[in-house]
Amino acid sequence: MTARVLVVDDLEPNVKLLEAKLRAEYFDVVSAYSGQEAVDTAISDQPDIILLDVMMPGMDGFEACRRIKENPETMHIPIVMVTALDQQTDRVVGLEAGADDFLTKPVEDLALFARVRSLSRLKMMTDELRARYATGKGLGVVDNIEIDVDSSETRIFIIDDNEEQAERLKSTLGEDHAVSCETDPEIALGRAQSGDFDLIIVSLSIESMDPLRLCSSIRSFEETRLTPILAVVRQSDTRKLVRALDIGVNDYLKRPIDRNELTARVHTQLRRKRYVDQLRSSFQASLEMAVTDQLTGLYNRRYLASHLSAMFERAQWTDRPLATMILDIDHFKKINDTYGHDAGDKVLKEFADCVARSVRGIDLACRYGGEEFLVAMPDTDMAFAAIVAERLRQEVAGKKFMINGGRDAIEITVSIGIASTENNPDEDSAQKLIKRADEALYEAKNGGRNRVIQAA
Ligand SMILES: [Mg+2]
């Protein structure tokens, strides 16, 4: 796996050393020599990970980190701070500035490569979501993301067969989060899947089961595939830690645990989780908007085109009838001409509500054209479709459509053509079924409107 790494240090020899190490492992390296240059290069080069020196003249590493994490264009890029001294206070300041991890100079190769690999892999998972989000935003259907971690809503799950250790973690985190513990790893796997947790903390000192197997299982379940995992390791367990990072553990803490570092790392993971969740839900929303008719809330024609063929094939395959009806509001142009387009839109919206109420959950209702609607009804024969259509026709004919803020009421009628696959078993496409329903609608219009006609 390759990734683009941005190396930042005010001293050229330090940059060259890291560059050489990373290039030898086939990483693509770009470099910067100051905090400001780091901020600019992060934007222009979009690296997969940043190795950031802390001590630099002018803008130091902490400030550069803060700025990179504040900018929506670069906030998703993981940052590893590189410090000369392993100072606990520095670590906490860095984590609070948004850093994802620390490496101590001189940088140890094993730790460096494990961290670069794991952080850039995690980033790639969010890159796909970011790309979809960008598409939605380009289409103007997605809002900006604002990350706000409300800790009272976050759920943390601790897995450790040492009850005392688990309880100690729980008491630290319990003030701000809803925390549950499990000492039996087998039971923990089930609970992790069903618990909808925002973060899972796993002790790598578990003895009753291989803790690395436990982590990789959590990673592989559909329900917890994207749930961050924070591993807790003994100071000397570097090899186990490297394996854990390769498996997909997001972050780690070494014992003895520093309370501030624990809080900061938990916060970083929760922030990242919230970010991913928002990317996913905004994509979902943009997807919905792309297939929904804005005015009526029904599906649009684009969705119908892609979905109706599948419904038609399923009907053939299961040998069950598929019925379609096309509905067209009579003399709709006159409403627009007489009362204006706002009134026309109001009528369309109310009419669509009638249609939506009359159909079942499995039916597909869509706005087919201006004042034309189509409903596809799986597992429905002509007789039943005719009942639904006639009931809808009567409801519309007997209803007052309110316009102009409720000051005026108008009456409308609808013509409906229906067709079912049962009358034409040799039909080989959904388009032909629609065409027959359309012909029936044409007949309904010619026959005087306000009626339902069944295709022969
Ligand atoms: Mg320096």
Distance 102 CA to ligand 1 centre (A): 14
Note whether residue 292 is domain-resident.
no
- Do 274 and 318 share a domain, yes or no? no
Q: Please give the backbone phi and psi of residue 221, each rounded to the nearest 5 degrees, phi first.
A: -70, 140
- Three-state DSSP state, 101: strand
Catalytic residue among 37, 182, 371, 427: 371
Give the Cα separation of 414 and 422 in Å (integer). 25
pLDDT less than 50: residues of the chain: 151
pLDDT at position 274? 85
Residue 193 lies in a domain: yes
Q: Determine the pLDDT at residue 152.
A: 56
Question: Do 450 and 305 belong together in one domain?
Answer: yes
Residue 87 lies in a domain: yes
Given this model, what pLDDT does residue 110 score? 82
What's the 41 CA to ligand 1 centre distance in angstroms?
18
The torsion angles phi and psi of 249, rounded to 5 degrees, stand at -65, 135
Domain total in the chain:
3
Shared domain check, 271 and 172? yes
In order of 194, 240, 241, the CA distances from 245 in angstroms are 24, 9, 6
184 and 65 within one domain: no
Residues 149 and 263 occupy one common structural domain = yes
Helical ranges in 139-194 per DSSP H = 163-173, 185-194
205 CA from centroid of ligand 1 (Å):
36
187 and 235 part of one domain: yes
Report in angstroms the alpha-carbon separations of 152 from 149, 176, 223, 325: 9, 6, 22, 50
Q: How far is the CA of 56 from the centre of ligand 1 (A)?
A: 4
Q: What is the pLDDT of residue 428?
A: 84
- Report how far ligand 1's centroid is from the alpha carbon of 82 (Å): 9
Compute the distance between CA of residue 388 and CA of residue 372 in angstroms, rounded to an integer: 17
Which of these three, 93, 114, 141, is where a domain ends? 141
Is 422 part of the annotated catalytic residue set? no
Distance CA 425, CA 321 (A): 9
State whether 7 and 56 are in the same domain: yes
Predicted pLDDT at 446: 95
DSSP secondary structure string for all residues of 198-257: SEEEEETT--SS-HHHHHHHHHHSGGGTTS-EEEEE-TT-HHHHHHHHHHT--EEEESSP
CATH classification at residue 217: 3.40.50.2300
CATH number for position 387 = 3.30.70.270
- pLDDT tens digits, 95-118: 889 899 888 888 888 888 888 888
Please provide residue 147's backbone torsions phi and psi, each rounded to the nearest 5 degrees: -90, 125
CA nearest 131: which of 226, 46, 66? 46
Give residue 86's pLDDT: 66
So what's the pLDDT on residue 452?
Answer: 97
Q: Which of 141, 160, 190 lies at the terminal end of a domain, its last residue?
A: 141
Same structural domain, 137 and 162: no
Tokens of 456: 């022969």
Q: How far does the centroid of ligand 1 lie from the alpha carbon of residue 155, in Å?
A: 39
User: What's the CA-to-centroid distance between 7 and ligand 1, angstroms?
Assistant: 12
Greatest C-alpha distance within the chain: 89
Residues 128, 194 within the same domain: no
Examine the domain organization and report whether 115 and 157 are in the same domain.
no
Ligand 1 centroid from CA 53, angstroms: 6
Which residues constitute the domain of residue 322? 301-454
In a domain? residue 445: yes
Last residue of a domain, one of 141, 172, 190: 141
Alpha-carbon span 221 to 200, nearest angstrom: 13
Helix axes 430-446, 301-318, angle to 10 degrees: 110
> What's the pTM value of the predicted model, to 2 decimals?
0.65
Residues 82 and 169 grouped into a single domain:
no
**What is residue 140's predicted lDDT score, i.e. its pLDDT?**
64
Residues recorded for the chain: 456
Pairwise CA distance, residues 246 & 164, whole Å: 28
Residues with Cβ within 8 Å of 438's Cβ and at least 6 positions away in sequence, in order, are 326, 417
Domain shared by 5 and 54, yes or no = yes
